[in-house]
């Protein structure tokens, strides 16, 4: 009973959880509530539901709790779909090793996304070209992509500016490993570190580039203001700093589907 109480109080009281953790707690709470109610109904009334009926109940309850916790709209799709997908996937004639394999692949690709709320999503070549255009010309630079993913931007710039130092820091193991192997196979001056960018000292860089997410921007701006040297550049693709105007705004894609902005701040 203590466990049920703890899960319920965690779901209801602890607002500081990242959404993915709240979503998981909601699933656990729904499972506990559905399983215990069905158990009591069975004991007292002799009422027995089939497994699929119980799974539907769990989906419905998870949806209601998700709406109550006011999670973003996409969680209202993911949450009820989760128990149903689990039910159908587990009844499919597929070896469970595949699920384990897929789980490890996704884990090494997304790693701490549930906490950072910054998933892997690559920027495009048009963005790399626009970034190249704002880099100071005829100057040897130290550049870092914080959250470098597969390293596409870093490789592109390193090939064009052999006189400068380009690096990437990436928290997720798989994209980092991919960039390291690619750097071994390519004779460019690109360096990749597996670390959390919060642990880096930004004063070592003339240009810091970020393609992260809205939640990351305010704390990142505090770090930029605290650590970056005067005259250096901070560039963010797609995500502005709330209430801080950029010195330059560029629209690299200029398509109807994507007119995301490249924001540049001179520190
Ligand atoms: C939207 S992707 C951008 C990839 C790359 N910069 C590009 O432009 O193609 C964001 C990346 O940041 C990484 N990331 C998120 N939080 C991080 C952190 N605290 N430290 C280092 N990398 C992080 C994610 O794993 C993900 O690969």
Q: What is the pLDDT of residues 186-208, one digit of tens each?
A: 888 899 999 999 999 999 999 99
Q: Which CATH class is domain 125-266?
A: alpha beta
Cβ–ligand 1 contact at 121 (below 6 Å): yes
**pLDDT number for residue 252:** 87
151 lines ligand 1 (CB under 6 A): no
> In this structure, what DSSP letter does residue 139 have?
S
Q: What is the atom index within ligand 1 of the atom nearest the CA of 118?
A: 15
C-alpha count within 13 angstroms, C-beta hemisphere, residue 11: 23
In tens, the pLDDT along 50-106 reads 999 999 999 999 999 999 999 989 999 999 999 999 999 888 898 889 999 999 999
pLDDT by 10s per residue, the chain, length 267: 566 666 666 556 556 688 888 999 999 999 999 999 999 999 998 888 899 999 999 999 999 999 999 998 999 999 999 999 999 988 889 888 999 999 999 999 998 888 888 889 999 999 999 999 999 888 899 999 999 999 999 999 999 999 999 999 999 999 999 999 999 998 888 999 999 999 999 999 999 999 999 999 999 999 999 999 999 999 999 999 999 999 999 998 876 566 789 999 999
Query: How far is residue 112's CA from residue 93's CA, in Å, rounded to a whole number?
Result: 31
Note the pTM of the prediction, 2 decimals: 0.84
The domain segmentation of the chain, as residue ranges, is 2-93, 125-266
Ligand 1 neighbour 252 (Cβ under 6 A): no
11 CA to middle of ligand 1, Å?
28
Kindly tell me the number of DSSP H helices and DSSP E strands found in the chain: 10, 7
Judge whether 114 and 20 are in contact, CB under 8 Å: yes
- Please give the distance, rounded to the nearest whole angstrom, from the Cα atom of residue 36 to the centre of ligand 1: 41
DSSP 198: G
Q: Is the shortest distance between the CB of 116 and ligand 1 below 6 Å? A: yes
**Residues with Cβ within 8 Å of residue 39, at least 6 apart in sequence:** none
Q: Longest Cα pair distance anywhere in the chain, in angstroms?
A: 82
Count the residues in the chain: 267
Which mutation among 106, 116, 118 tests ligand 1's pocket best, with the greatest number of atoms within 8 A of CB? 118
- Assess contact for 167 and 154: CB atoms under 8 A: yes
The pLDDT of residue 13: 59
Establish whether residue 152 lines the binding site of ligand 1, counting it when its CB lies within 6 angstroms of any ligand atom. Answer: yes
Kindly state if the Cβ of 171 falls inside 6 Å of ligand 1: yes
Q: What pLDDT shows up at residue 139?
A: 85
pLDDT at 148: 97
pLDDT for 112 equals 85
Atom of ligand 1 lying closest to residue 147 CA? 12
pLDDT at 96: 87
């Amino acid at each position: 009973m203590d466990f049920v109480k703890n899960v319920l109080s965690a779901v209801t009281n602890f607002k500081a959880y990242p959404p993915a953790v709240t979503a998981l707690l909601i699933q656990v709470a729904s499972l506990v509530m559905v399983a215990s109610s069905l158990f009591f109904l069975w004991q007292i009334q002799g009422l027995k539901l089939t497994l699929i009926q119980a799974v539907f109940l769990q989906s419905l309850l998870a949806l209601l709790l998700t709406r109550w916790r006011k999670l973003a709209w996409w969680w209202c799709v993911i949450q009820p779909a989760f128990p149903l997908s689990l039910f159908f996937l587990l009844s499919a004639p597929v070896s469970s090793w595949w699920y384990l394999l897929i789980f490890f692949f996704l884990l090494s690709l997304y790693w701490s996304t549930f906490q950072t709320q910054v998933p892997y999503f690559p920027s495009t070549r048009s963005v790399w070209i626009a970034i190249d255009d704002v880099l100071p010309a005829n100057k040897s630079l130290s550049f870092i992509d914080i959250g470098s993913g597969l390293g596409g931007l870093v490789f592109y710039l390193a090939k064009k500016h052999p006189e400068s130092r380009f690096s990437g820091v990436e928290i997720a193991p798989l994209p980092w490993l991919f960039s390291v192997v690619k750097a071994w196979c390519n004779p460019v001056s690109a360096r990749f570190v597996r670390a959390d960018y919060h642990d880096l000292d930004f004063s070592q860089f003339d240009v810091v580039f970020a393609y992260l997410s809205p939640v990351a921007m305010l704390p990142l701006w505090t770090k930029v203001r605290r650590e970056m040297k005067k005259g250096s550049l901070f560039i963010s693709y797609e995500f502005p700093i709330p209430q801080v105007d950029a010195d330059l705004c560029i629209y690299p894609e200029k398509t109807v589907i994507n007119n995301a902005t490249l924001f540049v701040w001179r520190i």
